[in-house]
Chain A
């Protein structure tokens, strides 16, 4: 009886382990120092990453969850359709995300399709990711400039300190981008240290908050750019509803700010 040919090349368990460790370690060592460190892998963070990495900027996104994409997988009320208001659909078009017109000025796309395309676009542009990695603190230099982030494994943070007494590690960068949504984790850390005072976000007002978020996107503190919903928390803007155009456009504007500031570093 003829022996059945194996589909996959035989590889031992230890080789698999070595490949994982080696691949992770090489990338991690390289990205301990980056040009742009984005905290939060939601739509605005991904958009910043995609746009800056396309210009050859060494970019790392730190994401506390296993999955990348934040709330971009689903729209309101756990329904997996995402909406963008004009002109947000121009970015959907640019990324090759199919969408349809819902009504005048409003477009709707499949969340999984939109989110996976955006993640792929960021990856294709050269962005690297550290997922399951939680932001812990900022690294500050002379004059209080933000120049890095202290991070740890997400599970370490999720368990009681007595069980997981694991010190975090620091990553250095030229610019940190806070794309952590309404939590505004990086900005809040500066607030904890008394360096700046956020305003907190106001009542929900979808129609106008999107414009304001994009307009306020920028450097909130030397070395720290704020994008997406973190902008609303930082500046006390009206809270956003389940619409994503401002996340994409704010990410794009954040990238422009990074690129502009990078020229002066």
Chain B
């Protein structure tokens, strides 16, 4: 975030009707990692286009075309990025060969389905940043990676890792497993789980009250996260305090469902106005590049 704001000063363009400034990318690049289930990446890109008039490109698998030497290096890096105990801050650890081999298989198999390791989000982002196609990790491109892997960040307040849906920066990371695991489910769900009620039964009982793997609502729910990433790029601020706005920073599944699926509107008047200006002014001012 700090890096973004520093760069904003020299690279922003004023909007025509007010004094606010936006950093408008020439394109939004969408990468993917692993099996994304029913997620419609093209649909997300089209949605972005409709809302902002910014073109998008589908860049495919983030690992595509890596040479063996690079695969070895990246596998080694990923295996070192695993958080073993969420209650302890991650420290570098020498990985076992089996862990590196697992990451190698993951990288070499597009559409890899297995997940469950929690990775250190900031370091994960750093590894991914090195894989983005040459010279495209800059303010002219808004780069997003959609992954089925789970990452978290350390919370200094309660001294533990928390899984995250998204980690915004260069590039922006959005996790579909994070969308299921990170926002908390209803409290009673966890109480019943503690009492030993099988997960499958609980899922039936609470069906619809949280997003689950393979949920058909996933694409719709992620539209807001894509817009949060873009708003960080545009304005330096990804979130909105309005619970009905797609930019609301949800911590509970019920908040996700409200802000992304059942809100009074898609965007609050303030953010809708920014989008409207973007659309109406498209082509009337220079984009980055």
Contact = CB atoms under 8 A, between A and B. Distances in A.
Task: Check if A and B associate.
Answer: yes
B210 to A, nearest CB: 13
A85 B201 CA distance: 13
A208 interface: yes
A77 B96 CA distance: 34
B96 A199 contact: yes
B158 interface: no
A212 B117 contact: yes
B200 A209 contact: no
Contacts of B99: 199, 216, 235
Given A77-B196, A199-B84, A215-B102, A205 B94 contact: no
A105 B198 CA distance: 11
B233 interface: no
Contacts of B198: 83, 102-103, 106
B93 A216 contact: no
Contact of A106 (B102, B105, B200): B200
A199 B85 CA distance: 9
| Residue among A103, A106, A236 facing the most chain B CB atoms (10 A cut-off) | A236
Nearest to A83: B198
A200 B87 CA distance: 13
A256 to B, nearest CB: 15
Contacts of B44: none
A237 B96 contact: no
B134 interface: no
B86 interface: yes
Contacts, number: 73
A226 B97 CA distance: 13
B116 interface: yes
Nearest to A201: B84
B196 A76 contact: yes
A168 to B, nearest CB: 27
A211 interface: yes
Interface in A199-232: 199-200, 202-203, 205-209, 211-212, 215-216, 218-220, 226
A216 B97 CA distance: 11
A202 B200 contact: no
Contact of B116 (A103, A104, A211, A226): A211
A83 B82 CA distance: 29
Contacts of B9: none
Interface string B68-81: 00000000000000
A17 B35 CA distance: 62
Nearest to A77: B196
B199 interface: yes
B98 A238 contact: no
Contact of B118 (A103, A202, A216): A202
A85 B203 CA distance: 14
B193 to A, nearest CB: 10
B101 A218 contact: yes
A234 interface: yes
Nearest to A108: B198
A32 interface: no
B80 to A, nearest CB: 11
Nearest to B106: A215
A207 B98 CA distance: 21
B116 A212 contact: yes
A197 interface: yes
B101 A199 contact: no
Given A199-B96, A237-B117, A104 B200 contact: yes
Contacts of A219: 98
B114 interface: yes
B116 to A, nearest CB: 3
B18 interface: no
A25 interface: no
B188 interface: no
A197 B85 contact: no
B190 to A, nearest CB: 12
A196 interface: yes
Contacts of B102: 215-216, 235
A129 B94 CA distance: 36
B115 interface: yes
A71 to B, nearest CB: 15
Contacts of A106: 198, 200
Given A208-B116, A212-B117, A235 B200 contact: no
B98 A206 contact: no
Contacts of B83: 202
Interface of B: 82-86, 93-94, 96-99, 101-102, 105, 113-118, 196, 198-201, 204
13 contacts: A102-B198, A102-B201, A103-B200, A103-B201, A103-B204, A106-B200, A197-B94, A199-B96, A200-B84, A207-B199, A212-B114, A237-B117, A238-B116
Closest 6 CB pairs of A and B: A208-B116, A236-B84, A103-B200, A106-B200, A212-B116, A211-B114
